[in-house]
Structure 1
Amino acid sequence: MRITEGSAMARTAPTSMRLDPEVKAALERAAKDDMRSVSSLVEKILVEWLRANGHLKG
């Protein structure tokens, strides 16, 4: 779950995916370098891509 303003926990929808082991390892390294969880990094990447491609407003 993501912490939002005021420390309230936002509800998020659980999801799962299969990744190539090399991609997963790179994602884990990138998340560690960015001091965030893999889940948080995946959400950040997806939101940025969706916004950049007009699929998500914001």
Structure 2
Amino acid sequence: MTAKSELRSTPLGLRVTPSLKSAIEKAAKDDRRSMASMAELILTDWLENKGYLEKDG
């Protein structure tokens, strides 16, 4: 089941390097997203491309 069809979300805590956090902040701002939304998008895209997560559509 993909994230878009699921009704609930669950928290995920992780630590990243300051440079990675800064890059995500910049990408999120450029895309008018929150950092959490940007991180979720990046993870979803990677997992779909690698076949770990079923693609929507």
Q: TM-score, normalised by structure 1?
A: 0.79
- Residue 56 of structure 1 is matched in structure 2 by 53
Give 2:43's aligned residue: 46
The AA in structure 2 aligned to 1:43 is: E
Structure 1 segments of 4+ aligned residues over 3 angstroms from their partners: none
Give CA deviations for 1:2-38 in whole Å, capped at 9, x if unaligned: xx7xxxxx42010110010111011101100000001
Question: Equivalent pairs: percent with the same residue?
Answer: 44
Higher strand proportion, which one?
1
Structure 2 counterparts to residues 8-47 of structure 1, below 5 A:
10-47=7-44
Specify the SS of the correspondent of 1:26: helix
Highest CA radius of gyration, 1 or 2? 1
Consecutive unaligned residues of structure 2, counting only runs of 5 or more, are none
